[in-house]
Amino acid sequence: MAQDLSDTAGTPVPPGSATPTPADGPPAVPPVVPSEPAEPPAGAPGKEPRTVLLARVAAAAAGGLLLFLAFPPLNWWLCAPLGLALVAGSLYGTRPRRAAWLGYLAALVFLLPALAWVRPIGYDAWLALVGVESAFYAATAAGAAMVMRLPWWPLWFSALWVAMEWIRGLVPIGGFPWARVGFSQGETLYTYYAALGGVPLVSFAVALSGTLLAAAVLRLPRRTEGPAETAPGLGAETAPGLGAETAPSLGAETAPSLGAETAPGPGREAAPRAGRGAAPVWRVSAALTAGALAVPALTFLIPRPGDEGKTVNIGVVQGNVPGEGMYFLGDEPAVVLKNHANMTHELAKRVREGKLPKPDVVVLPENSTDIDPYADPAAHAIIDASVKDVGVPTLIGAVVGIGQTERATRSLVWDPATGPGAYYDKQKLVPFGEYTPMKEIFLALFERASLVGRQSVAGTRDGDLKIGPVTLGAINCYEVAYDGIVRDTVRTGATPLVVQGNNASYALSNLPPQQLAMSQLRAVEHNRAVVTAFTTGISAYVTPEGKVSWQTAERVPDATVVTVPVRTQATIATKVGSAPEWALIVVGVGAIGAAAWRRVRHRS
């Protein structure tokens, strides 16, 4: 009787047996659907060979390393999908508990160097942050091990990745959305997905490319010469159950390696002994590879608004600071204020000499004055003189007192005629930098926590500030990583966007280029030019297409005037907001539910 092959993908093939075929015809062509590892037979051994475990560990670690290489300052962006392909391969066919440890390992290898910029605060803070953030990747890997048992698993894996990045941006202590995969794609083929669904869709696209590539490799056929032997690998023929004690891990006696000449692993059709069936299986892998390549290519079809013919001249001042690390202010009072006032005077001089065009507005960095201009008449006079010299409204950055014990990080419009006016107070505050969460506990445990000083108070309004001929969208440093803060500011009609920042404690680390890449994504996401002004760099101008048109070196004073487009048309991403992200989160969580239900049904 002819046998139906629709359920044979991923099921065990007894050693030495040929691939089952219909009695009256050639081997069936496998569908171009990444198949899932089947539940193991009862009594299957539960321990995989050491070589298989080592292969998994190596793949997870290599995947984490490739993810790091994709991020600035290296910007080897293709490493992102390749890294995720290796991570997915390391998880495929293993149990959730083991997958969690593999995910944690991959995250450690990725985040330790990616977040190395935290070290000036303290090595303990760096290691604690990496340890906590890696737990999110571990949980995601456990979920991935479940959803990879479903057909079309690359979609569910990628959606889960987006869900993980979302929850990281919320908890703990307000979240930490750094090192999202989308932020590695500042100016790449994937970048324009930001105009369709924001950074979450960029992350999804990168993950989908990587997992499709992993599925393609896992589906590759192989030739067997006699009985299949125990071989190490990243695909298991008898894939594990969802926690069943008898379920074998990847590589149980029939598990092949990615290159072993044995029976096929999970996601692969059994390799036919005769040549007739090999071609269809190769076509499956080729189709999956084509899908992986098509994902970035499809960005050329995403509609984006064009130029509107309006421009504004923005002066940018980078004054530099005297110190380094946690003590960047140095020992001399008001030196940061004086540095930025002096560079503002220098900008005015270059304009008078005809070396630079006359600006319509000037932007200084966050903390461009280290003295509260409301409370200190001398600081007020220094700022006022520099703004009068340049002769146009200027956006300064100041930390101002709120009562006796609190403060605000403020973007303050300073008019040459009327002085300080409208302002925006930073909404997303940096834990342990601008305020101390669980203050009593951390002050008792860590002396460094007292360096925060006055506790910052979060602002309550969006950053649209009318200044000169435009309404700038003020984003304050850390906030550029948060989708909602930037999107809400753009929706007020603000254009262009201005990111004021102070990275003096992290100068010459990988933080400044990482933040610049975030500004590139924001420019494309919202069809806005982005001007960044930082105390020590990197100050830059990013076009609405995400290209860095001008940037400063770090740790040097600089000033220039850039002509930037004033665009008002909204992208699809701006209009739909977080809807694509929520849709992907629902898909990812739903896939876990489906995998759990499938397991229960299978056991019953």
* Residues classed as catalytic: 366, 426, 477
Q: How far apart are CA 287 and CA 285, in angstroms?
A: 5
| In contact, 529 and 543? CB cutoff 8 Å | yes
| Distance set, CA 445 to CA 14, 122, 442, 450 (Å) | 60, 14, 5, 10
CA triplet 519, 524, 526: central angle to 5 degrees? 95
CA separation (Å) from 273 to 27, 206, 261, 391?
11, 36, 12, 82
Q: Which DSSP state fits 563?
A: E
Rounded to whole angstroms, the Cα distance separating 209 from 468 reads 45
Task: Of 182, 213, 209, 176, give the one whose Cα is nearest residue 197.
Answer: 182
Give 96's DSSP letter. Answer: H
Reduced to 3 states (helix: H, G, I; strand: E, B; else coil), residue 471 is: strand
How, if at all, do strands 361-363 and 311-318 pair?
parallel
The full 3-state SS of 219-281, as one line of letters, equals CCCCCCCCCCCCCCCCCCCCCCCCCCCCCCCCCCCCCCCCCCCCCCCCCCCCCCCCCCCHHHH
CB atoms within 10 A of CB 307: 13
For 34, the 3-state DSSP assignment is coil
Between CA 309 and CA 315 the distance in angstroms is 20
Measured CA to CA, the distance from residue 390 to residue 345 in angstroms comes to 7
Distance separating alpha carbons of residues 544 and 565, to the nearest angstrom = 8
Q: How far apart are CA 64 and CA 281, in angstroms?
A: 30
Query: Can you list the alpha helix ranges (DSSP code H) found in 492-546?
Result: 511-526
Residue type at 73 in one-letter notation:
P
181 — alpha (psi -120 to 50), left (phi > 0) or beta?
alpha
Lookup: tokens for 302:
């995403």
- What is the C-alpha to C-alpha distance for residues 451 and 91, in angstroms, rounded to an integer? 43
Closest C-alpha among 567, 563, 518 to residue 544: 567
Q: How far apart are CA 544 and CA 311, in angstroms?
A: 12
